[in-house]
Structure 1
Amino acid sequence: MLLTACLPQRRERAVMAAEISFSVETARGSRTLSVTYERRGAGEPLLLLHGIGHHWQAWEPVMGILAADRDVIAVDLPGFGASPALPDGLPYDLATVSTVLDAFCRALGVERPHVAGNSLGGLLALELGREKLVRSVTALSPAGFWSEAERRYAFTTLRAMRVGARSLPLPVIERLSRSAAGRTALVSTIYARPGRRSPEAAVAETRALRGATGFHQTLAAGGGVLFGDDVRDVPVTIAWGTKDRLLLRRQGVRAKYVIPRARLVRLPGCGHVPMSDDPALVARVLLDGSA
C-alpha cells in the first residue's frame, strides 16, 4: 500500500479548524482521504495525536502555551472527531494510520515534524519515530506496553465508556456536565481532576466518544499490538501520570526497557489524559521533548 499526498483542498471551519484532502493509493486503486485539524503558532512543527474516542480538542489546555514556540498541528485521527472514517479497504492498523499521518504532514508541506501523542496517539507517535518519519517523539501514557490482562482491562473499560456515552441522552449529558460531580461521572476514568474540565468540554468529548466511527475497528486492530522495537536515532520522551487508571504507570517501566535511551518522566497527580490535569507541566514536557 502506498499513500501519496496531492495538492491540499483546505476549507476553514468553525473555531479555526480546517479540513485537508489528499490521495490514497491502495491495492484497490486511488481513494480520497480527508482529515480535520487545528493549526496554531510558529516555529518548528509539532504534530499532536489524541487517544481512542477523543478528538483534537484534548490538546486545547496546552495549545496556547505550545503555540508560543511551535507550529502546533492537532489532528482528528481518521474516524474520530470531525475526521471521516478511513475509505473502505484501509485497516486501522499501525502501519496504515502512521502512513496516513505522514501523508497528511506532506500535504501540509511539513516534513518530519516533532510528534507528541497520548494513549493511542502515543503508540502512533512511537511508530512514526520507529519509521524515522519525525524529528522527536513525546508519548504520554502510550498504548502497547501492556500485559495481556492489562490490555483486556483497558479494552473492557473503553468499551464500557463507549456504551455509557452512547446510552445517555444528550440532555442528560448536558445536565451532568453542569456540576463537578456530574463531570466526574462522565470523564473521571481518563482525568485525575475531572472537575477542571469545562461543561462544554465534557459534553464535546462525550459526544466525540459516542460518534467515533473508527472506534471498534481501532480497538480490534489493537488487540494483538505490543510495541517491542527500540526507536533508534530519534529522541524519545515517555511520560506517565501517577494516577492513570486506564493504562497503569508500571507500563512506563516496560516502555523504558523496550526503548532504553528514552527519557521517562513522571507526571504527579495526572490521569490518563494529563493535558487538562496539569497543563503547565505537560506543556513543559512537550517543549523539552521537542527541543
Structure 2
Amino acid sequence: MSATVSFKVPTPHGPRTVTLSYARVGSGEPLLLLHGIGHHRQAWDPVVHLLAAERDVIAVDLPGFGDSPALPDGLRHDLPTMNAALGALCEAVGIERPHVAGNSLGGLLALELGREKLVRSVTALSPAGFWSQAERRYAFGVLQAMRAIARRTPLPLVERLSRSAAGRTVLTSTIYARPGRRPPEAVVAETLALAQATGFEETLRAGIDVLFTDDVSGIPVTVAWGTQDRLLVRRQGVRAKQIIPHARLVRLPGCGHVPMNDDPALVARVILDGSR
C-alpha cells in the first residue's frame, strides 16, 4: 500500500523535515528498492509481486521524484544527503539494515549505502558512477533531452502514442529494450513523472563530479547490466567489477537500461539470489 513518512535530517542550518512516499508489500527480510533519475517507484511494478513472495518490499519515491517532494532548502541532492535521508527512512519505517536493490541512480545510491554498511546486501542494476567523462556527458545529454521532450509533449499526444507498441517505442525505447511490453498507462504515468520531477535538475547537477571509486566490502554485492543498455553502456559493468572485485557481475541478455520491464523473472531472480 502507498504511504508517506516524514523524518528529520541534519543540515548545516539545523534539522530539516524530509517527506518520502513509498509502497510496502510482502513479508520476509526487508528489501529496499530505489529507482533511477526521472523515474518513480512504479518502475519496479513488473517485479514487485515476484520479490514480495520472499521479501518485505519497500519501493520508495526518491526526493523530488514521483510523489515525494524535493528536499527542503539547506539539503543538497548529493550522495551524503541521500545516504542520511535513506538511513532515516529505514529507521522511520522500522527496518534495520535492509537488503537494497537499485537501478541507475538508485544503483549508485544502493552501492553508497553498502559502502557505509547501512544495508546487508546490494544489487545494482546498471548503476551510475562507473562512467568515463565522455560517457557521463552523453548520458546526461540524453537524460536532459528526454526531460525536455516529456515536458513539451502534450498529454493527449502522450496518451495517443502509448496506445500502440510503436508509440510506446517512440516514448521509451531509450530505457527499455522491449518498450512494447510496457502497459500504456505505465508509459503515460512515467512520462508525466519525468516531466514533473522537481528534483531532476538538482540531482543531475549533483552527479556531475560523481565517480564510484571505493570497494564495497563485508557484504554481498551484485552488479547487473543489460546487454541492450543504451544509456549507460555495459562496459561500465566491467569497471564496476574492477572497483568491487568480489562483486558478482551478471549479464542481462536482451535487457535495456531499466531491465525490470524487459525481463521481470530474470531481474527478480538476480535480486533474490543476491540477497540470499
Tell me by how many angstroms 1:30 deviates: 2.4
Letter aligned with residue 254 of structure 1: R
Gaps of 5+ in 1: 1-15
Counterpart of 1:49 in structure 2 is 34
- d(CA) in 1 for partners of 2:213, 2:190: 31
Deviations 1:103-131 (A, max 9, x none): 00000110100000000000000000000
- Out of 207, 212, 216, the position equivalent to 1:231 is 216
TM normalised by structure 2 equals 0.99
Question: Among 55, 61, 85, which residue is 1:100 paired with?
Answer: 85
Question: In structure 1, what residue type is equivalent to 2:69?
Answer: P
Alignment partner of 2:137: what SS?
helix
1:19-168 pair list within 5 angstroms: 19-168=4-153
Structure 1 residue 25, shift from structure 2 partner:
2.4
TM superposition shift of 1:99: 1.1
CA deviations over 1:182-234 (Å, ceiling 9, x no partner): 00000000000000001000000000000000000010000010000000101
CA shift at 1:240, angstroms?
0.2
Q: Is the 8 A contact 2:9 2:84 kept in 1?
A: no
* Partner Cα separation in structure 2 for residue 126 and residue 25 of structure 1: 22
Output the CA distance in 2 between the equivalents of 1:30 and 1:99: 12
**Runs of 4+ off more than 4 Å:** none
How far did 1:31 drift? 1.7
Q: Secondary structure at the match of 2:100?
A: strand
SS state of the match for residue 118, structure 2? coil
Whole-Å Cα distance in 2 between the matches of residues 206 and 98 of structure 1?
27
Normalising to structure 1: TM-score of the pair? 0.94
SS at match of 1:78: coil
Q: How many residues align?
A: 276
Corresponding letter in the other structure for 2:66: G
Residue 283 of structure 1 aligns with an amino acid whose one-letter code is A
Moved more, 21-30 or 271-280: 21-30
What is the match of residue 204 of structure 1? 189
What CA distance in whole angstroms lies between the structure 2 residues aligned with 1:17 and 1:169?
28
The offset of 1:29, in angstroms, is 1.8
Q: Which of residues 170, 176, 183 is equivalent to 2:155?
A: 170
In structure 2, give the amino acid aligned to 1:93.
D
Opposite residue 72 of structure 2, the aligned amino acid is: P
2:188 aligned with 1:184: no
Q: Is the 8 A contact 2:39 2:193 kept in 1?
A: yes
Distance 1:106 1:218 in 2: 24
C-alpha distance in structure 2 between counterparts of 1:23 and 1:123, whole Å = 23
Counterpart of 1:273?
258
**Which amino acid in 2 is paired with 1:208?**
A
Determine what percentage of the aligned residue pairs are the same residue. 75
